[in-house]
Amino acid sequence: MQIPQEQRARAEAAMPGVTPCATPDWITVDAAYATQMAEKSRLLSGKRSAVVAALPGTKAALAELDAHVLDLLKARPDFDVQADTIERPDGVIVSRGEPDLLARLLQEDLCILQKRGDRHVLTAATLCFPAGWTLSEKIGRPLLDIHAPVQRYTSDVARRVQRLFDGVQAARPIWRANLLNYDNPALFQPHKEADPRPVGSAVSPFERSERQTLFRLPHTQAVVFAIHTTVVRR
């Protein structure tokens, strides 16, 4: 298991930025699929309140996201989408009536941000693999408040990110990547703002990278932030 070369190059660039996805299909299935999906199942069963959140008024956006993802999966050879069930790439069959359906199908964590006034607010998410943040602290907060503990997230950066969210288009997803050193390989690493994650060092034994994809849902105009996580030993 390795971090894809293009993703590593993007994360290590001197000025990492966003780039268009090669196709509208932003879903990634890699060698860790079965392991990550088993961990998601464990978290959804035992810690659901910590990994799933949705504010009032998000039902339409969530339904639109479900429909969008199922359309993508129908076109893929590694998923078998039927009227009542979906067979995953690891052979597990999931009922389409399951709660948290997308979290039981995709490695990606999915966050929905909706415009409230002039700012995008995190209104719903399934976040099984947080990299040093806690969903309960961030839900209902706008981008600037979500990133408040990040020292490099200045007001100028915040304005540029807001312009990016304002400009992202439906059917034209864009992506970026990060790459950080970690001492702990666990996928589920929530940390509160008052208790931040210890920063990894040059001798940390693991690398953790997120492929972060942004796209807009055309009917509700919600922006989706999809996070595919890869953890490898260095």
The 10s digit of each residue's pLDDT in 52-80 is 999 999 999 999 999 999 999 999 999 99
Tokens encoding 95: 């009922």
Give 154's pLDDT tier (boundaries 50, 70, 90): low
74 vs 15, higher pLDDT: 74
Indicate if the pLDDT at residue 31 is higher than 80.
yes
- Residues 188 and 42 sit within 8 Å (Cβ to Cβ): no
CA–CA gap between residue 110 and residue 138 (Å, rounded):
14
Enclosing domain of residue 45: 5-233
**How many domains are contained in the chain?**
1
Indicate whether this model's pTM tops 0.85: yes
CA–CA gap between residue 40 and residue 87 (Å, rounded):
16
User: Quick one: what percent of the chain has pLDDT higher than 70?
Assistant: 93
- Least confident range of 13-22, 35-44, 86-95: 13-22
User: Quick one: what percent of the chain has pLDDT higher than 90?
Assistant: 71
CA–CA gap between residue 34 and residue 232 (Å, rounded):
15
Half-sphere exposure of 143 (CA within 13 A, CB side): 25
pLDDT digits (tens, 9 = 90+) for 161-214: 778 788 888 889 999 999 999 999 999 999 888 888 888 888 899 999 999 999
Burial category of 87 from C-beta neighbours within 10 Å (exposed 0-12, middle 13-18, buried 19 and up):
middle
Mean predicted lDDT score pLDDT of the chain: 91
pLDDT the model gives residue 141: 92
pLDDT the model gives residue 146: 79
CA–CA gap between residue 86 and residue 206 (Å, rounded):
33
Indicate if the pLDDT at residue 157 is higher than 80.
no
